[in-house]
Structure 1
């Protein structure tokens, strides 16, 4: 007879997370005011943008004027845009919002794909990543508030003068319906905001439905709830396949509005997915250390380790494919995306660190069978991978929002601590509300005898 296990979210654990959050707040405030004392201007204009490309290729530059970004627009931004410190704060808020919203939805994705594929091995651990989904409503509020407050500083396409009949930006005008439909370009981005609301609403409703069915399965047993979980999971996966890519286009790719990649949806998904797997494995290992998850053995941990290893290679494959296709084509308006990250002194170190920490380090360390089972190794690799993919989103977002005013200091460290502690608090609180695994799951016996 398998006994029920519950996680107790102790007062000590809560206190540690709250202290971490407060330390993050202090560092964030310190970092922000340190930046504020050094403000000398606002943003980076089209001329800087053109110069980077010209220096990178040594050929005909991709200039702002060619695409309707007039000097007058650059001057207007300089006078009416927010200060560099405000833009950097908004950029970091957006990076963390997007990253942790992705972790939340990836947790639900992991849970759903186990039911849809009729997987039995994961019966004892799939509620760990599923708890990430409790962050979804918080992520929605944070993203909507930051967009409403700072969207004008984060997204270039919001500026109304880009859609002027004369002197506007022809490329951005062509994309106006995607942002503003049914309104005119430069009005309120109803279509963009509508998608954000719909995505979170459907994700959260399906998450609630899956959670209700999963908890009912604990009580009733049998296969009735399992079949309902399977069909609901299939619905979620179909919606996720479309919405996750569109969310990546909306929340990240549209920041660099003149640039696009047909692989970007896959690229963002791969980064979210690897980070979610690494965080799930780390929490599973920590719970095992506390004497919980008795139904999880070294074979399950090995499987999760293989997932982290394999999808690290998958992320690198997508990264290299996107880089190769764009850079080999040598089209200035496409290669500028990489040049802004590869050649700029602010981002070049992070560009190379991104590859080291997200590919070479986990690939080399997790290559052997024993490494995927050794919890001491996993306790080092998993947090490194999660942080590495935060850096990946930093590289996706920061160059397009703050440009040459980017950097990594107290503000970035502080906000990471704030979001990590808040995210883990919500996750552990959700885990404490129900058993860690469904003792009446029809495939739990298969999981108990899982061996590789």
Structure 2
């Protein structure tokens, strides 16, 4: 393998890596099939639980890819030099987003158009409802004179209706995907042509993405996740989701760089670069905690029924241990592990912190989604939770390493700040 003095290094996706990725995908497919076909001893189907897990992992997959675009855009907008040498990893995320977006849209659409018999929110009527977003997607909730009519849901019908809902999800993901692909295009053009023209285009696209993203990411979270609890609303929920997205993305970027360095790639990435990533993970884990606690404390203190219903579900005995474990994993663990300078420069410690945060924010999304979809009766970690998660891990790895192998160089060799990045020291 060539040293970092050569800018023509390419990644080779090994057959062993492909095999393990495909094994993960097969496990995921089998878990989905199991969930769709299996009925427990009481004759209850697990289809709803399967859809909930698909939404959980599809949303997480898309969020990590979006975080990669956000990372690139932020570096270009800030004209940061330290990160130039590692941009290929988040750029690969940008190229993966169209696939993640298509999967998430498919999951949402199937969850809205496939139906089941459900009991209404008040528990008095049984109607034909959907597997996802069942609190608002049925027309019975908005039809005057219908026994299941709900004035709260009817009041939100102009916003929460299926065509507009799907249209918004598609619009967000298409916009993010186009801007992400443009960032990659201009970076690779810069490698071939040199000069500042493509860097300036990347700067403009990065700024454009940040503006669009800033206005739409709360709406993306409101639509995809918060509308599962359609009777409840929190203005902090969007930024709480953003913090989870950003920390997860940073953890995945850092873990992949550590893994690739161990394989002999990205030899120019030093502990100083990883230190910076560790600082960002530490800082935004604290930010996530601030938003989590502020949302919880204000609702707890006000004790307004329309607000407390969200946390009431998550304080049921079946979910309460995971509720508190969530804050321990996503705040206390990174706080204790990453506080010191030395820990952010110890590769093994940083790797453990990344794995903890990736699993921790999966649990965070689990607590956002499961109580609102399957409720306490199908909670826990069974074949669907473990198998579908492994399937998405396999799919992510297969797409990431395949995408990374298609870059002609693992470093943006004509980036104007590449020299600064290669000599980065803190």
Same fold (TM over 0.5): yes
1:55 is aligned to none
Post-superposition CA distance 1:106-136 (Å, at most 9, x none): 1111011100110000000122122112332
Question: Does 1:352 pair with 2:302?
Answer: no
Aligned partners of 2:108, 2:412: CA distance in 1, in Å? 39
CA distance in 2, matches of 1:129, 1:444: 16
Q: Say whether 1:205 aligns with 2:175.
A: no
Which residue of 2 is the match for residue 419 of structure 1? 392
1:102 deviates by 0.7
Choose which of 118, 121, 126 in structure 1 pairs with 2:79: 118
Deviation for aligned residue 1:260: 0.5
User: Does residue 163 of the first structure (1) align with residue 106 of the second (2)?
Assistant: no
Q: Report the counterpart of residue 270 of structure 2 in structure 1.
A: 297
Are residue 191 (structure 1) and residue 152 (structure 2) matched? no
Choose the corresponding residue for 1:13, options 17, 33, 43: 17
Does structure 1 retain, via aligned residues, the 8 Å contact 2:7–2:410?
Answer: no
Give the equivalent residue in structure 1 for 2:235: 262
- Residue 23 in structure 1 maps to residue 4 in structure 2: no
Distance change (3 Å), C-alpha of 1:206 and 1:87: same
Output the CA distance in 1 between the equivalents of 2:422 and 2:393: 32
Cross-structure match for 1:153: 131
Q: Structure 2 length as normaliser, TM-score?
A: 0.91
Aligned residue for 2:366? 394
Q: How does 1:76-95 map to 2 (within 5 A)?
A: 83=45, 85-95=46-56
Q: Contact between 1:111 and 1:127, CA under 8 Å: does it hold in 2?
A: no
Q: 1: CA distance between counterparts of 2:182 and 2:276?
A: 28
| 2:299 and 2:308 in contact (8 A); partners too | yes
SS at match of 2:158: helix
- Cα displacement string for residues 141-174 of structure 1 (whole angstroms, at most 9, x for unaligned residues): 2222222222212112011111121341111111
Which residue pairs with 1:108 in the alignment? 69
- State the partner residue of 1:447: 421
1: CA distance, partners of 2:42 / 2:76: 52
Equivalence for 1:335: 308
Question: Cα gap change, 1:149/1:27 in structure 2, threshold over 3 Å: closer, same or farther?
Answer: closer
Q: Contact 2:95–2:184 at 8 Å: present in 1 too?
A: no
Q: Once the two structures are superposed, what CA deviation does each residue of 1:245-284 show, in whole Å capped at 9, x if it has no partner?
A: 1110000001100101010110000001101000100011
Which residue of structure 2 aligns with residue 38 of structure 1?
Answer: 41
Question: Partners in 2 of 1:175 and 1:238 — Cα distance?
Answer: 27
State the Cα distance separating 1:103 from its structure 2 match: 0.8
Over the aligned positions, Cα root-mean-square deviation in angstroms equals 1.5
Instruction: Give the secondary structure class of the aligned counterpart of 2:411.
Output: coil
Q: How far did 1:356 drift?
A: 1.3
**1:355 CA drift (Å):** 1.1
2:244 match? 271
Please, which runs of 5 or more residues in structure 2 have no aligned partner?
A: 113-129
Would you say 1:281 and 2:254 are equivalent positions? yes
Of the three residues 401, 412, 419, the one matched with 1:438 is: 412
Q: Is the 8 A contact 1:301 1:372 kept in 2?
A: yes
Question: Does 2:279 correspond to 1:306?
Answer: yes
Q: Matches of 1:28 and 1:133 in 2, distance apart?
A: 27
**1:178 and 2:159 are equivalent in the alignment:** yes
Query: TM-score scaled to structure 1, two decimals?
Result: 0.85
User: Could you tell me how far 1:193 is from its partner in structure 2?
Assistant: 1.0
Partner Cα separation in structure 2 for residue 135 and residue 96 of structure 1: 15
Aligned with 2:294: secondary structure?
helix
Matches of 2:42 and 2:415, distance apart in 1: 58
Matched-pair contact (CA < 8 Å) for 1:357–1:388: yes
Contact kept? 1:102, 1:272, Cα under 8 Å: yes
Equivalence for 2:344: 372
- Hey, what's the Cα distance between the residues in 2 that align with 1:274 and 1:39? 40
Question: What's the offset of the Cα at 1:39?
Answer: 4.1
Q: Is the 8 A contact 1:31 1:411 kept in 2?
A: yes
Counting matched residue pairs gives 400
Instruction: Say whether the 8 Å CA contact 2:49–2:374 is kept in structure 1.
Output: yes
